[in-house]
Amino acid sequence: MSFSVVGVYALPLRNRFRGITVRHGVLLEGASGFGEFCAFEDYSDEESVPWLAAAVESCSGSWPAPVRSRIPVNCTVPAVSAERAFEIAAASGCSTAKVKVADPGQSIVDDCDRVAAVRSALGPSGAIRVDANAVWSVDEAVTAIRALDRAAGGLEYVEQPCRSLPELAAVRKRVDVRIAADESIRRASDPMKVAVTGAADVAVLKATPLGGARRALEVAEACGLPCVVSSALESSVGLAGQIALAAALPSLDFACGLGTISLFTADVTDSSLRPSAGFLPVPSRPAEPTLLDGVRADPETERRWLSRLDRVTALLG
């Protein structure tokens, strides 16, 4: 496997997201350019193998041919106050917002207030989707979805309200809002064989944990559902591979969750992939990480991530 390590980054987040305040990852360089290994820290070495495969595809391989030159994106609203949620949505320039709900320590009232604030910011024609990250039971999901749908004046869909596919299917039968599957696909032992059609209306795909844009394109075809491409909270280097997947999908019915660089206070490159008027351009390759020196991880974090990279590289073969 031919790549070299460029460095380990530490990107601070503007707000706590997925329980973290700093995102880490390793930037790689190969014959085709740059790649990024940034498996979530709660992923085992085995689960992290596809993340490295995606990085290798980016820096040493190629992406599928694009069929569009720009991607519609949603803004992402973390589990912040209603006032802050309004500010984020209003400033985004996007007509679609993905709102995080069911955060530890917050109530359904907090979630509904946040969603209502986003509706106020987007206006009646905007689209609102929510993401519960699989924390609800079936009954909790049904109750919460109905309340959130009222607060939003109509939800576009609810992403991964429960953990398992049978639970998603049970919720789907009891609510009038589309259900989207995310973790059920990307954390499956074989994403190509996940039977999501009875459990979800939308498939949320992340190229990075699925092994790269080419592999994720195969998963999209296998699942047989409308697809939304979503970020795995990468820097602009890794995000470029996600955009490559969105650009290659035969059809794209929903805005994608790729406007996530705004969640960070910095980036690894001065060519950040930030949306303009709700769209992202499709890059041909990841940009060079020209700003890495300003966001390098501390020595202990660097050692930990390089050790992890070595272990996962050995598993990838």
pLDDT in tens, 44-97: 999 999 999 999 999 999 999 999 999 999 999 999 999 999 999 999 999 999
Same domain as 160, residue 57: no
Domain CATH for 93: 3.20.20.120
Same domain as 108, residue 238: yes
Token representation of residue 176: 């009038």
Same domain as 180, residue 38: no
Same domain as 261, residue 130: yes
Confidence of residue 193 (pLDDT cuts 50, 70, 90): confident
Name the residue range of residue 31's domain: 4-62+291-316
- In a domain, residue 286? The reply is no
Average pLDDT over residues 297-310: 98
Q: Please report, as a single letter, which amino acid is at residue 136.
A: W
Who's near 56: CB < 8 A, 6+ residues apart?
1, 3, 28, 30, 35, 212, 316
Q: Is the pLDDT of residue 1 over 70?
A: no
Same domain as 57, residue 134: no
pTM: 0.94
| Tens digits of residue pLDDT in 241-271 | 999 999 999 999 999 999 999 999 999 999 9
Q: Is the pLDDT of residue 17 over 90?
A: no
Q: Rounded to 10 degrees, what is the CA torsion of 87, 92, 95, 99?
A: -60
Q: Is 98 a catalytic residue?
A: no
Same domain as 239, residue 150: yes
Same domain as 214, residue 112: yes
Same domain as 13, residue 123: no
| Tens digits of residue pLDDT in 121-163 | 999 999 999 999 999 999 999 999 999 999 999 999 999 999 9
Q: Is the pLDDT of residue 316 over 90?
A: yes
When the pLDDT of each residue in the chain is averaged and rounded to a whole number, the result is 96
Same domain as 86, residue 177: yes
User: Any binding-site annotation on 310?
Assistant: no
User: Any binding-site annotation on 182?
Assistant: yes
Active-site option among 98, 100, 173, 193: 100
Average pLDDT over residues 182-198: 84
- Distance (Å, whole) CA 226 – CA 239: 21
Model pLDDT, residue 19: 84
Q: How many domains does the chain have?
A: 2
Same domain as 295, residue 275: no
